[in-house]
């Protein structure tokens, strides 16, 4: 039995901690998957992790690989449970953190409050010394001021130090020396410099990123240590990887050094999973949609690649400018529409859905916990799409009286019938999601009809077919275990590191090709040396190159794939060609203007030793055996019709059926509209053809 392979992913989300465990028996070749779910346990998140391992019956001592996604970082920031940070900047720039960018998104509001800085003025200090944007030293660094600054920091109870100097993206040597000096003078204090996180320009964004990283550094380190200890206590001797926001996993050691890079760790797992599953199924172009309790997130996957962005912000909306975190994050559009989103009527008799959510407490009216407001979930219950007798996998008895009362309150305001209101809620929620899906596709020059919609999360299956129909899409895939798909996705992930470095190169100058080659080759060398130092065989590394390029004088860049270095004149014209095409696809025109290279983006991938997604066994069960019955379901424009109800846990590869139908599992409901055909593939995923 010792050769049995066990690989596990645990995803700590805002509400639930999800588990997916893969078992493989090399003797029989059989594989098995187990899923489990427990409540998340803030602030001691590691407890939930240990609980879900226990609930899922995972033999921790036998587990070879554990991949972990966690909200511990974002949670520490949003709940302001980080540590007291001291900041060291270039002379003349300590106020950058408070000045921010001077914007006021809520622009008619004369009582706008700016988000307060995470480091107050008296803990922001300066060192003399300047670099130029070309990375040349303009005036020397003077570290003689550091002992005094650190003494003050100690007296004030500073627990972590952030260092961000001007133009350190071009030349980090001043930052490196400041960090060395701090380590010498105050060895115990956690310290982080901006160049260790990002090599992109813009001092406010980089300072904010460094400060927030320092703010969570001790919290995240303690958490990861406790988790490691808790697992070790149960005999865990395998390899741990942490899911990062860029859709890849990273080692525990590196994560401890720069924990801010796991800020969006959970959602990244789902989208990376969608890309990998798409590749497995021969569907490289995917529009991926994750509908949870409070939000819906979507992302576009082209040719099997998730898109990464580095202009990520937290607490940013139309009312507040929030805080930038300049780390690679899967490019996701998120809207305040999930199963718990509240429907409400404004002063002018117009119905809206979200962004307020009923959360888990009191939750939708149907929870019967005193929720007075109708939510998207309540509307789905009223229309018969969700089974009131199998609500939340039968764990909660749906309080239909409360649902009806909540809807009737809206009916009275709107002068509409109860079922019209319920349909209206779903139509509005779908409309919001369609707009989000268009933002990531149509707005970037991609036609959704060339893509397959892959929907997951608790609410994905409920809305997917209607959304696909609205967008003219032909096919929907609901993955197996859709409700824990983020965790499942983590088991399909490889180690991934994104290196970004800003270096302006006018592509029409004679030295352009050699400068670009030098940049790409030296960055490659850095990446590979780090890998080598960790003892990873270099032949496992895959390198992908991208360039962020713009027309000269523009600000915004378009990222395009680059061939590997070295570059010659002819490679530059090929790069220009690719840029013009990508630009025109997105913006409808091209210019005859010189091009400027802004940022090199190197992606390093290293395959980790992981199991393949298992095929689902066929027991020979018939479709009729999987059918639970028939109930009347309101399909809005397609009318009220009797629909066959299938037990999702009993469906097997090869089974196929026509809509109208509903597929129910413990964690999710899939609505198959009339006129659609559904098929179960070899892995248990449901393919719906419109």
CB of 443 to other proteins, least distance (A): 6
Q: How far is CA 489 from the centre of its chain?
A: 11
- The reply on whether position 435 binds other proteins by CB under 8 A is yes
The sign one gets for the Cα dihedral 605, 609, 610, 611 is positive
**Contact range with other proteins by CB under 8 A, out of 106-114, 183-191, 234-242, 487-495:** 106-114
Residue 109 makes contact with other proteins by CB under 8 A = yes
Q: Which two tokens stand for residue 498?
A: 């994104």
Q: How far is the CB of 553 from other proteins (least distance, A)?
A: 5
What gap in Å lies between CA 219 and CA 556, rounded to an integer?
35
Q: What is the CA 506 to chain-centroid distance, rounded?
A: 34
Distance CA 587, CA 117 (A): 36
**Based on CB atoms, which residue is closest to other proteins, 16 or 597?**
597
d(CA 690, CA 678): 9
Tell me which residue of 234, 198, 242 sits closest to 69, measured CA to CA: 242
Among 43, 57, 61, 92, binds other proteins (CB under 8 A): 92
Contact with other proteins (CB under 8 A): which of 26, 188, 318, 533? 318
Residue number with CB closer to other proteins (98 or 647): 98
Give the closest residue to 85 by CA, choosing from 206, 247, 217, 224.
Answer: 217
Shortest distance in whole angstroms from residue 93 CB to other proteins? 6
Smallest distance from the beta carbon of 498 to other proteins, in angstroms?
A: 21
Q: Is the Cβ–Cβ distance between 383 and 403 less than 8 Å?
A: no
The tokens of 681 are what?
């593939």
Indicate which single residue of 539, 553, 570, 619 sits in contact with other proteins (rule: CB under 8 A): 553
Which residues sit opposite 452 in a β-bridge?
286
Options 169, 215, 367, 446; binder of other proteins; rule CB under 8 A: 169
Question: From CA 561, how far away is CA 579, in angstroms rounded?
Answer: 9
Nearest distance, CB of residue 53 and other proteins, angstroms: 44
Minimum gap (Å) between residue 351 Cβ and other proteins:
6
Q: Provide the β-strand partners of residue 495.
A: 249, 606
Query: How many Å apart are CA 458 and CA 338, to the nearest integer?
Result: 9
Window of 9-17, 285-293, 547-555, 624-632 that interacts with other proteins by CB under 8 A: 547-555
Q: Are 157 and 171 in contact (CB under 8 A)?
A: no
Q: Tell whether residue 414 is a contact of other proteins (CB under 8 A).
A: yes
Among 1, 27, 28, 102, binds other proteins (CB under 8 A): 102
Number of residues forming the site for other proteins (CB under 8 A): 63
30, 32, 79, 132: which one binds other proteins (CB under 8 A): 132
Site string for other proteins, 278-317 (x = CB under 8 A): ----------------------------------------
d(CA 666, CA 21) in angstroms, rounded, equals 17
Looking at the Cβ atoms of 81 and 444, the one nearer to other proteins is 444
Q: Interface residues for other proteins in 567-626 (CB under 8 A)?
A: 587-589, 591, 593
List binders of other proteins among 328-367 (CB under 8 A). 347-352
What contacts 587, CB < 8 A, 6 or more positions away? 445
> What is the Cα–Cα distance from 656 to 126, expressed in whole angstroms?
68
Q: Is 79 in the site for other proteins (CB under 8 A)?
A: no
Nearest CA-CA partner of 625 in 670, 581, 577, 657: 657
In the region spanning residues 469 to 528, those forming contacts with other proteins, defined by CB under 8 A, are 504, 506
Shortest reach from residue 233's CB to other proteins, in Å: 48
Q: How far is the CB of 509 from other proteins (least distance, A)?
A: 9
Stretch that binds other proteins, among 130-138, 142-150, 191-199, 218-226 (CB under 8 A): 130-138
DSSP-assigned states of every residue in 370-403: S--S-BHHHHHHHTTSS-GGGGGGGTS---HHHH
Query: In the structure encoding, which two tokens stand for residue 199, read together?
Result: 């090599």
| Range 172-211, binding other proteins (CB under 8 A) | 201-205
Taken as a whole, the chain contains a residue count of 690
| Span interacting with other proteins, options 39-47, 107-115, 260-268, 459-467, rule CB under 8 A | 107-115
- CB 427 to other proteins: min, Å: 6
Compute the C-alpha angle 373/365/410, nearest 5°: 35
* CA distances to 314, 475, 476 from 264, in Å: 10, 28, 25
Q: What does the alpha-carbon distance between residue 520 and residue 173 come to, in Å, rounded to a whole number?
A: 20
Give the nearer residue to other proteins in terms of CB position, either 98 or 682. Answer: 98
Q: Are the C-beta atoms of residues 646 and 669 closer than 8 Å to each other?
A: no
Residues that bind other proteins (CB under 8 A): 92-96, 98-114, 121, 132-134, 138, 166-167, 169, 201-205, 318, 347-352, 414, 416, 424, 427-428, 431-432, 435, 443, 504, 506, 551, 553-556, 587-589, 591, 593
């Amino acid at each position: 039995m010792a050769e049995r392979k066990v690989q596990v992913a645990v995803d700590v989300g805002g509400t639930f901690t999800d588990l997916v465990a893969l078992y493989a028996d090399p003797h029989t070749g059989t594989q098995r998957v187990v899923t489990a779910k427990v409540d998340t346990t803030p602030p001691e998140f590691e407890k939930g992790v240990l609980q879900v391992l226990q609930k899922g019956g995972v033999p921790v001592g036998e587990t070879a690989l554990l991949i972990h996604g966690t909200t511990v970082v974002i949670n520490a920031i949003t709940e302001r449970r980080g540590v007291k940070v001291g900041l060291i900047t270039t002379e003349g720039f300590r106020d950058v953190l408070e000045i921010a960018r001077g914007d006021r998104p809520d622009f008619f509001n004369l009582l706008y409050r700016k988000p307060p800085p995470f480091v107050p003025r008296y803990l922001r200090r300066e060192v003399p010394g300047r670099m130029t944007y070309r990375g040349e030293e303009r005036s020397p660094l003077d570290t003689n001021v550091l002992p005094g600054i650190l003494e003050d920091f100690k007296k004030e109870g500073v627990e972590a130090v952030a260092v961000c100097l001007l133009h350190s993206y071009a030349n980090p040597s001043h930052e490196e020396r400041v960090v060395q000096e701090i380590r010498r003078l105050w060895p115990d204090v956690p310290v982080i410099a901006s160049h260790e996180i990002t090599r992109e320009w813009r001092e406010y964004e980089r300072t904010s990123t460094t400060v927030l990283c320092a703010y969570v550094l001790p919290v995240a380190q303690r958490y990861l240590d406790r988790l490691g200890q808790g697992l070790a206590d149960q005999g865990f001797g395998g390899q741990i990887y942490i899911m990062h926001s860029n859709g890849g996993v990273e080692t525990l050691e590196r994560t401890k050094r720069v924990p801010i890079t796991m800020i969006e760790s959970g959602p990244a797992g789902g989208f990376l999973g969608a890309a990998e599953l798409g590749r497995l199924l021969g569907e490289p172009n995917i529009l991926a949609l994750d509908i949870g309790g409070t939000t819906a997130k979507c992302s576009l996957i082209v040719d099997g690649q998730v898109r990464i962005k580095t202009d990520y912000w937290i607490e940013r909306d139309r009312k507040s400018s929030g805080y930038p975190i300049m780390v690679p994050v899967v490019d996701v559009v998120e809207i305040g529409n999930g199963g718990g989103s509240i429907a409400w009527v404004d002063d002018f008799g117009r119905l809206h859905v979200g962004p307020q959510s009923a959360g888990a407490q009191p939750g939708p009216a149907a929870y019967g916990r005193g929720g007075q407001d109708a939510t998207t979930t309540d509307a789905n219950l009223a229309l018969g799409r969700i089974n009131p007798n199998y609500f939340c996998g039968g764990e909660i008895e749906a309080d239909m009286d409360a649902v009806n009362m909540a809807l009737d309150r809206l009916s009275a305001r709107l002068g509409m019938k109860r079922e019209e209101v319920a349909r209206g809620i779903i139509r509005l929620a779908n409309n919001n999601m369609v707009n989000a899906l268009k933002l990531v596709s149509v707005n970037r020059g991609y036609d959704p009809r060339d893509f397959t919609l892959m929907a997951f999360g608790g609410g994905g299956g409920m809305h997917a077919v209607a959304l696909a129909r609205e967008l003219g899409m032909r096919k929907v895939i609901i993955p197996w275990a859709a409700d824990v798909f983020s965790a499942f996705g983590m088991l399909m992930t490889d180690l991934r590191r994104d290196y970004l470095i800003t270096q302006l190169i006018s592509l029409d100058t004679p030295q352009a090709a050699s400068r670009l080659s030098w940049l790409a080759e030296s960055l490659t060398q850095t990446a590979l040396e780090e890998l080598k130092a960790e003892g990873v065989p270099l032949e496992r590394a895959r390198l992908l190159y991208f360039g962020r390029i713009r027309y000269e004088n523009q600000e915004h860049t378009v990222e395009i794939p680059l061939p590997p270095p070295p570059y010659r004149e002819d490679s530059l014209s090929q790069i220009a060609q690719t840029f013009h095409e990508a630009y025109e696809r997105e913006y409808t025109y091209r210019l005859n203007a010189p091009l400027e290279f802004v940022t090199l983006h190197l992606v390093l991938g290293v395959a980790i030793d992981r199991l393949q997604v298992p095929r689902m066994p066929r027991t020979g069960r018939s479709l009729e055996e999987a059918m639970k019955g028939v109930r009347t379901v309101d399909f809005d424009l397609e009318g009220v019709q009797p629909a066959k109800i299938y037990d999702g846990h009993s469906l097997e590869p090869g089974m196929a059926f026509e809509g109208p139908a509903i597929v129910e599992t413990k964690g999710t409901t899939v609505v198959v509209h009339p006129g659609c055909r559904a098929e179960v593939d070899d892995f248990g995923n449901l393919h719906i053809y419109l």
